[in-house]
Structure formats: C-alpha cells, structure tokens
C-alpha cells in the first residue's frame, strides 16, 4: 500500500486501498472523479439528513458568505447565531433554555461534561463522578473517549483516559439490571452526571433499547440529583423517527448535545443545550465560575446560516413524511433479510436499520469488514459495517429504488464472507 500525504480518519494506510475520490454529490448520491455514482447509504457517517446539497441550505450558505463569514464569539454575537439559538430552544425538548455553540459532536460532548462539573462546583457541592453506558460512543477526544466504551479504538490512549462508572447496556429483557446498577452507583457516591446516547448506541454496534428504560434512567438521575446528558449527535434531527430521540421517552435531559444534522450535514456545527439550572450555576459575578471553553469557530456565521436553513426545511417541507417513508421501507427490507440464515439480530429504529452478518470472527476487526466494504462499493453503494454489523442509515430523500439497491448489495454478499 502507498503512503499518502493525507492521513485519513479511522484508516490503516498500511492495508487499506487508496480512497475513493468524490467530485460532487446530490441528494442521496455521490459521484466520483471518474463519473461513477455511489449511493450514500450511511449519510456519510450519519451527517447528511435531507440529502446532499439541499438547495435551501446551499442558498443560505451563499447568502451568509456574502454578508459575514466569521467573527470572534466572546464579547461579540451575530443575528444568525441569535436567531438560531432561539429556534433551537423552541424545538428542543421543553425546558432547555441556553445554547453553547461548538463545532463537532465530540466538542459538544466535551462541553456537556464541563458544564456538568461546572454546575456542581457552581452550586458549591463539587461532584466529579460521571456514569456512562457500556457500548457508548461519544467521540474521539480524550474526554469523550473516557466516557465511551473501551476497546481497540482507545487502548493506546488508555493511560490518559479518566475513569467513569460503567452502567451495563439495557439489553432487551435485562433492563432492570441497568436500572439497578444506576441506582447503586447513585447511592454509592454522588454522581455528577450520567451520559447516554438515547434509545440507540450507534458506533458501539447499533444497539437499541426502549424509551421506557430511558425514562426510568432519567427518573433515577433526577431522584438522586445527578444530571442527565443526552448525546443526540447521531439520534438528533429525525434519525430515530422523531426530531430528537428523547421525545419518545417524554424526557428533557439537563444537557443535550447536537451536531451532524444540525446543518443538514452540510457544514460543521454543534450545540450543547442546557437547562436554566445548569446555566444559572455558572452565572455569577465571580469570574472563576465562567464556563471556560471556546473554539475558534464557535458559532461560525456560515455554519449557523446552514443550521437555520435546516430548521426552515423542517418547518416547511414534509420531512416527517419522508422519515416515515424511509422507516417503513427499512422495516420491510430488514424483515425480508431476517429470513436469510446468513443474518441475525435484525433491528430498526426510525430511519436506522441494522443486522449482523454471521461470521466466524465477530467484533470491529472481523476479517469480513474490509471485504464487505469493497463488495458494497463494487455494487455502487457506500456501506461501512461496524465489524459484522451492517447498518443502513440513508438521507431522508432516499427513494424506494435507492434502498432496493442497498439491500440488493447486502443480499449479494459473497458466500465466503459468512459462516452460515
């Protein structure tokens, strides 16, 4: 394999073939430099929601670029960020009232963790213990890796990671064990916060759990005064069938992280929303109680314009109908695959579908992984299994024929890649 100037993410350049070069994109489709079309069946890492280059977002980006590109956000603000913050508060689960901008899912979670510790310090009762769910993924920075589950991805960095209280994942039928563990953790010593991906652990294997369990976790946290951080970086913006996954449990977290689809997936922006209590614990004449966080591009005006345009699309277009349509198609495709002995654990949540391929060696490094990716690409479909877990998470504009193509590619997996 050739050494490359660009060092790609999650890529072992020593074994992986040269990357596919994309020249343009539209809707659910990518187009390579040599004019091959590839279906973006994973929304480019769960980022793109409505489809690539939605005209309303493209126009908003152009218009904002003509007015204001970037301005320091400490001591300064701009109308696009102000309008967006108010919109975010109005559509988020009720009770979240303050918006802190950043630029990626990871930073939105880092900010959430800092807000939680700042809250406890601010109210004069310092708590620092963080609890997190097994199989969780919250990003690749040191703090978010600490909260995420441990394994191959972060073994090298382990000495730098801080300890969290690990709560067992609420597997179907074993939810009580999760709730009991959370209750015990809260009783053992005061917990600053529990961080969860609501309803589904994404990168940890597309593992789904019930809304009732999420509601119970919130109830236990509230009872013990622990904050609940909902990381909706993947689940937000309609992926699970509602605008935010927390809605399905009827809960409002104390802190909510959103990114990816906030701009429809067009530009990097993130936001951490906080309850009045969390904000008020920092609001003071004492400068030491400042939320000490910033990144250069906080609330970049062009990104904020893209986010406002995204919300306009939600308000003016039948986005929920598109989501329901994708969800229904996913259900029927996955039901059909479930009949096939090569697959197991079919599951769907809103627009997200996943199934496990029976392989001799499971896990992220399952030898089938790279071969599966190459197979899908040869069929004109971008799918990037998590080990032997194949998931389909298309943009909401995906048509019946788009999804049929994705599932044809899955059905045509060469026999030597499965153990069935």
Q: Which residues bind ligand PLP (CB under 6 A)?
A: 104-106, 109, 137-139, 197, 202-203, 231, 233-234, 259
Whole-Å CA distances, 401 to 67, 265, 284, 410: 40, 23, 57, 14
CB of 200 to ligand PLP, least distance (A): 9
Give the DSSP per-residue string, 49-85.
SS-BT-HHHHHHHHHHHHH------SS---HHHHHHH
Backbone angles phi and psi of 210, in degrees to 5: -80, 155
User: In this complex, which beta carbon is closest to ligand PLP, that of residue 57 or of residue 186?
Assistant: 57
- Give me the least distance between CB of 204 and ligand PLP, in Å please: 9
Residue 130 sits at φ, ψ, to 5 deg, of -110, 135
Residue nearest to ligand PLP (CB): 105
Tell me which H or E stretch contains 100: strand 98-102
**Which residue number, 175 or 197, has a Cβ lying nearer to ligand PLP?**
197
Closest CA to 202 of 4, 329, 45, 1: 45
Q: Which two tokens stand for residue 83?
A: 């309008």
Task: State the nearest-atom distance from the C-beta of 104 to ligand PLP, in Å.
Answer: 4
Torsion angle defined by CA atoms of residues 417, 8, 146 and 170, in that order, rounded to the nearest 10 degrees: -30
Q: Nearest to residue 170, comparing CAs of 129, 204, 128?
A: 204
Q: Which two tokens stand for residue 53?
A: 């280059």
- Residue count of the chain, please give it: 420
Q: Minimal distance in Å, beta carbon 127 to ligand PLP?
A: 23
Structure tokens at 239: 């992926």
- DSSP class of residue 381 equals E
Give me the least distance between CB of 110 and ligand PLP, in Å please. 9
Nearest CB to ligand PLP, comparing residues 153 and 283: 153
Min dist CB 105 to ligand PLP, Å, is 2
In sequence order, the β-bridge partners of residue 30 are: 25, 38
End-to-end CA distance of the chain: 32
Report the candidate in 298, 375, 256, 324 with the shortest Cα–Cα distance to residue 102. 298
**Residue among 105 and 118 whose Cβ is closer to ligand PLP:** 105
Task: Decide whether 203 or 382 has the Cβ nearer to ligand PLP.
Answer: 203
CA distance 311 to 314: 5
**Least distance (Å) between residue 270 CB and ligand PLP:** 7
- Tell me how far, at minimum, the Cβ of 136 lies from ligand PLP, in Å: 8
Closer of 27 and 105 to ligand PLP (Cβ): 105
CB-based contact 184:172 (threshold 8 Å):
no
> Using an 8 Å Cβ cutoff, are 117 and 200 in contact?
no
Closest to ligand PLP by CB, 289 vs 384, is 384
User: What is the rounded CA–CA span in Å between residue 237 and residue 311?
Assistant: 9
Residues forming a β-bridge with 353 = 348, 392
Which lies closer to ligand PLP via its Cβ, residue 46 or residue 343?
Answer: 46
> What's the closest the beta carbon of residue 72 comes to ligand PLP, in angstroms?
23
Q: Which is nearer to ligand PLP, 137 or 407 (CB)?
A: 137
Taking the least distance from each CB to ligand PLP, the nearer of 13 and 384 is 384
User: Minimum CB separation from ligand PLP for residue 107, in Å?
Assistant: 7
């Amino acid at each position: 394999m050739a050494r490359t100037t660009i060092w790609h993410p999650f890529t072992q350049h020593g074994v992986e073939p040269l990357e596919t070069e994309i020249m343009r994109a539209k809707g659910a489709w990518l187009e390579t430099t040599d004019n091959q079309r590839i279906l973006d069946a994973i929304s480019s890492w769960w980022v793109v929601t409505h489809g690539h280059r939605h005209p309303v977002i493209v126009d908003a980006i152009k218009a904002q670029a003509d007015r204001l590109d970037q301005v320091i956000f400490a001591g300064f603000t701009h109308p696009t960020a102000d309008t967006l913050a108010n919109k975010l508060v109005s559509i988020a689960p009720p009770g979240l009232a303050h918006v802190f901008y950043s630029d990626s899912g990871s930073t939105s979670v880092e900010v959430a963790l800092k807000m939680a510790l700042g809250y406890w310090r601010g109210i004069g009762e310092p708590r620092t213990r963080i609890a997190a769910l097994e199989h969780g993924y919250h990003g690749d920075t040191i703090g978010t890796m600490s909260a995420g589950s441990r394994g191959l991805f972060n073994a090298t960095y382990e000495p730098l990671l801080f300890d969290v209280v690990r709560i067992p994942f609420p597997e179907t039928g074993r939810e009580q064990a999760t709730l009991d563990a959370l209750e015990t953790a809260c009783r053992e010593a005061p917990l600053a916060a529990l961080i969860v991906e609501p309803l589904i652990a994404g990168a940890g294997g597309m593992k789904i759990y019930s809304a009732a369990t999420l509601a119970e976790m919130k109830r236990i946290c509230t009872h013990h005064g622990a904050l609940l951080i909902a990381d909706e970086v993947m689940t937000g913006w309609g992926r699970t069938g509602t605008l935010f996954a927390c809605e399905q449990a009827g809960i409002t977290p104390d802190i909510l992280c959103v990114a990816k689809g906030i701009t429809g997936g067009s530009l990097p922006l993130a936001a951490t929303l906080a309850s009045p209590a969390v904000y008020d614990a920092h609001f003071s004449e004492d400068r030491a109680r400042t939320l000490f966080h910033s990144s250069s591009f906080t609330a970049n005006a062009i990104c904020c314009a893209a986010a406002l345009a995204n919300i306009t699309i939600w308000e003016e277009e039948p986005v929920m109908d598109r989501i329901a349509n994708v969800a229904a198609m996913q259900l029927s495709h996955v039901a059909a695959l479930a009949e096939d002995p090569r697959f197991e654990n079919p599951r769907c949540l809103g627009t997200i579908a996943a199934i496990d391929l029976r392989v001799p060696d499971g896990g992220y490094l399952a030898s089938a992984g790279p071969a599966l990716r190459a197979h899908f690409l040869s069929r004109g479909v971008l799918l990037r299994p998590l080990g032997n877990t194949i998931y389909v998470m298309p943009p909401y504009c995906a048509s019946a024929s788009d999804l049929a193509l994705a599932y044809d590619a899955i059905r045509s997996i060469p026999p030597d890649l499965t153990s069935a």
